[in-house]
A and B are shown apart, each in its own frame.
Chain A
Amino acid sequence: MTTATHGRVPAVSDAFYEVLEETACQAYVMALKDIPPDVRRGLAHAVERESSERAVAVMRTMLEAIELGDRDMLVCQDTGIPIYWVRIGTAAFVDGDRIRQAIETGVRRATLETPFRSSIVHPVERVNRQDSTGEGIPVLHFDFEPGIGHLSLLMMPKGSGSENWSFLRMLVPADGDEAIRSFALQAVVEAGGRACPPLVVGIGLGGSSDQCVSLAKIATARPVGQRHPDPKVAAFEEALLEDINTLGIGPQGLGGDTTALDVHVERAWTHNSMNPVAVNMQCWRGERRRARIAYDDLSVDWGYWW
C-alpha cells in the first residue's frame, strides 16, 4: 500500500509485465547462446599464455563452440537451473507477485519455444515438468534501487557440472584469513576437471551461512577481469588467481596453466563469533545476461553486468 509517509509513486502499466515476461524469456535464451565478451577475452588471453599444447587445443575448441553460439546454437546442452537477480527501481510502484509470475512464464516459454531441455526435477521423485520450472524454480533474488526508474535483471543459467562443486565452511575467527585462502584452493583441487575449468571462482565471505553461499554465487557473475572495489580484496583476488593457476589442473582437468579465468570475492559483515566462507564455481562459458527495462517508455537495454 502506498501511503503519504512513503510518498506516492505512479504504478507501472500492465504492458510493463508483458515486456518483463518477454525480456526474462529472451535473457534465458541469449545467456545460453551469447557468451559474454569478457569471458571470450579471458579465454583468448589464456590461449596466448598457455604452455600446454593440449590445453591450447582444448581452449581453441571452446572458442569454436562460442562462435557457433553466435550462429544461434546453444553452446552447452546443460541449460541449467534458471537464476534471476532482480533489482527494482523504486521510482514507480511494481507488483512483486506479478514480477515473479512474469519471470516464471518467461522461463517456461524459453524452454518450450526454443525448444531446449528442461533439467528441473522434484528432489526426491525426480519428476520433470519439462518446462524448467518447479517448486522454488526459477531461483529469484530481489533487491531495490532507491529512486531509480527502471527494473534490472541479471539472468544466469547455472549448469550442474560446476554447481555440483559448491562449498561452505563455517570457519572460526581464530582461523583467520589464511584459512579462507586454503579453503578456496582445496575446493578448486577437489573439483578438479569436473567443474568444467577454466573456472570463474566465486568466494563469499561473511554474512549468515545462506547469505555467504549467495555471495559466492553472485561473485561468479562479475565480469572476468573486473576487480573488487576494495584494493586489499582486489589484491587478494589477484594473488589467489595466480595460486590457482599454479595447480596445473588446466582446462577440463587435462593439465595446463589455465585452471581459472578469474577469482571474485563478495562479502558481508558477519557475527563476531563466525568466519564463514563459501566457494561457488562457474564453468568456462560464464553464461549470463543483463536487461534493464525503463518504466517510462518500456525500452530494454541489454548488457552482461549491472
Chain B
Amino acid sequence: MVIELTTPLTEEVVRELRVGDQVAISGTVWGLRDATLIHWQRQGFEFPVDMREAVVLHTQPNVRREGNRWLPVCVGTTTSQRMDRFTRPLLERYRIRAILGKGGLSPDSARAMAEHGSVYLAVIGGAASVETLQIEEIEAVYWEHLMPECLWCFRVRHLGPLFVAIDARGANLHQEVAAEAQRRLEGLTASAGGDRQTAAKAGARP
C-alpha cells in the first residue's frame, strides 16, 4: 500500500509514519545540497525564504533555461551522508518535516528526527528519469550563484516510490540493515578456512 502525502506535512501526519512504509509526496519540495547548506551556515543559518515545516530533497538538478524560467532536464537524488551534519540544525531551526535523500542518515540525525517529529524518506537513487517526470514545475530558485547547488523550489506530483527509512520514533532502517550486514560479515570472515572456505568453489583463488 502506498501512503499518499500532500504538503504541508503536519507533525501529526509525520508521527504516524513507520519505517518501511511506502509513500509518495505531492506539493512543494525544496532541493538543496552540499554548497547550499555550507552557504546557509555562512549566512548564519538563514535561508532567503520561510522554510518552516518544509520538505527538503538532497539534489543537484540538471536544468535548462527558457526565458526567465528553469526547466528540469534531469532531477535525481544524491547521497545524504555528505549533508548529515546539517540535519539537526535544519530540524532545530525550521522543524523540517521530511528529508528526502538516498543512502541514509546517522544515528544522531535519527535522534533529532524523533525529537522534532520528522522523517527521512529514501528515494531510489540513480532512477532520476522517473523522478524528473514527477516534477511538475520549478517554481523558484534562490542563491543562483551556487548553480547548480542552489535552493530549488519544486512542485511535485506523486513523487516516489519513497520508503520511510527513519521514522519519528527514531527507528533507522539503513542503520538496522548495516548492523545486520556487519554481523553477517563477521560470520563470513570468522569462518574463513573452515565451513565457508569449503562451501566456496574448490580452487577459487584470486
Contacts and interface: CB of A to CB of B under 8 A. Distances in A.
A238 interface: yes
Contacts of B77: 77
Interface string A63-76: 01100110001111
B132 interface: yes
Interface stretch (A94-102, A134-142, A175-183): A175-183
A161 B62 CA distance: 16
A285 B126 CA distance: 8
Contacts of B148: 117
B173 A68 contact: no
B122 interface: yes
Interface string B126-154: 11111011000000000000001000000
Contact of A117 (B60, B161, B165, B193): B60
A161 B177 contact: no
B76 interface: yes
A265 B163 CA distance: 34
B79 interface: yes
A238 B193 contact: no
A284 B122 CA distance: 16
A58 B201 contact: no
A238 B177 contact: no
A78 B126 CA distance: 8
* Max chain A C-beta neighbours (<10 A), residue from B180, B193, B200: B200
B197 to A, nearest CB: 8
Interface residues of A, number: 63
A62 B124 contact: yes
A178 B192 contact: yes
B74 A77 contact: yes
Interface stretch (A7-15, A149-157, A249-257): A249-257
Contacts of B78: 77-78, 160-161
B182 to A, nearest CB: 6
Q: Is the interface of B mostly helix, strand, loop or mixed?
A: mixed
Interface residues of B, number: 55
A74 B181 contact: no
Contact of A189 (B61, B181, B196, B206): B181
Interface in A174-233: 177-178, 180-182, 185-186, 189, 192-194, 196, 203, 205, 231-233
Contact of B126 (A68, A126, A284): A284
Interface in B53-102: 59-64, 73-79, 81, 102
A248 B200 contact: no
B177 A255 contact: yes
Interface string A32-47: 0000000000000000
Given A64-B130, A236-B204, A248-B177, A196 B74 contact: no
A267 B127 CA distance: 32
Contacts of B181: 189, 192, 247-249
Contacts of A51: none
Contacts of B52: none
Nearest to A75: B129
10 contacts: A62-B126, A116-B73, A117-B61, A164-B79, A231-B203, A235-B201, A238-B204, A243-B200, A253-B104, A255-B173
Given A77-B77, A253-B178, 18 more contacts: A54-B22, A58-B161, A65-B130, A74-B129, A75-B126, A77-B60, A77-B128, A78-B126, A116-B73, A116-B74, A160-B79, A186-B185, A196-B102, A239-B200, A247-B185, A249-B178, A252-B125, A285-B126
Chain A to chain B: the 3 pairs with minimum beta-carbon distance, closest first: A77-B76, A65-B127, A68-B129
Interface of A: 54, 57-58, 61-62, 64-65, 68-69, 73-79, 114-117, 119, 126, 159-161, 164, 177-178, 180-182, 185-186, 189, 192-194, 196, 203, 205, 231-233, 235-236, 238-239, 242-243, 246-250, 252-255, 265, 267, 283-285
